[in-house]
Amino acid sequence: MQTETLIRREKDIEERAIPHLRDLYDLTGKVALITGGAGQLAHQFAEGLSEAGAEIILTDIKGDGLAERKREFKQKGVDVSYYPAALTDPKAIYDMFRSIRENYGHLDILINNGGMTYFTPLEEMTHEQFSEVIEVHLKGSFMMVKNALPLMKKRGGVIINIGSIYGMVGADQSIYADSGINSSVAYAAAKGGMINFTRYLASYLGEYNIRVNCISPGGFYAGQDDEFVRRYCNKTPLGRMGDSYDLKAVGVFLASDAAKYITGVNLPVDGGWTAR
């Protein structure tokens, strides 16, 4: 019986009209929620998804940052909603999803982008610091997914987790020198976990037509120390850090029907850093 159902499904897919490329990327009517919404990378995701037609909801612990982001988008003629909430606060997350259910009725896209770290050497990092980084990245993303599922299961959806090149490879400590930043052991552990969290979810949620993928960015320029930037760029095949729109179209691609047969994938956006 199951085999017959699968065959009918395949025939239904084959008989559909082939959509135009621009229609595959159209997100009109979709509702997208982005964590870490006051941050640099979230701005790219929100901008791309909104330009593709999606309604945008941002959440972050930084309420002032969310209000500023809303003002920025308003100047571009885009209205975004936001909910201040900490990823470590189960009640705040539950209340946010209850509000989303009441105001939108469904959720189509969830981007688990929120995170934090401490630039503390391994020998000096405290138990509390390590635990906080893991809790924000992994437990926070788990709670977001768990609360999102009731809004996604009936009509399918997309979950995009944000990993890192340092969840894929060990850090080159030589590029940091005395820049005041380094690659945190807790951050590396959390981002490695995000990548396999993605694989698990993709396998578990496929039957509900919920696709789950991961984007692992490399370094993005944000006014870092000049010497650090020089060292970083010298190690990167494309010879630069990420810019203000290198993630914009990637988020749209994975959220759209252009990627409707892609799930469980980790996509590095790193200028070739992990190729070496």
Catalytic residues: 187
Q: Are 151 and 107 in contact (CB under 8 A)?
A: yes
* Distance, CA of 124 to chain centre: 29
| Local structure of 108: helix, strand or coil | coil
**Alpha-carbon gap, residue 204 to 116, rounded angstroms:** 27
Which amino acid appears at position 26 of this protein? Answer: D
Chain Cα centroid distance, residue 55: 16
CA 138 to chain centre: 12
Q: How many CB atoms lie within 10 A of CB 148?
A: 22
Close Cβ partners of 31 (under 8 Å, ≥ 6 residues apart): 54, 55, 57, 100, 104, 106, 107, 108, 109
**Amino acid (1-letter code) at residue 263:** T
Token digits of residue 252: 């749209």
Mapping DSSP to helix (H, G, I), strand (E, B) and coil, where does residue 84 land? strand
Count CB-CB contacts under 10 A for residue 181. Answer: 14
Q: Which of 53, 16, 58 is nearest to 36 (CA)?
A: 58
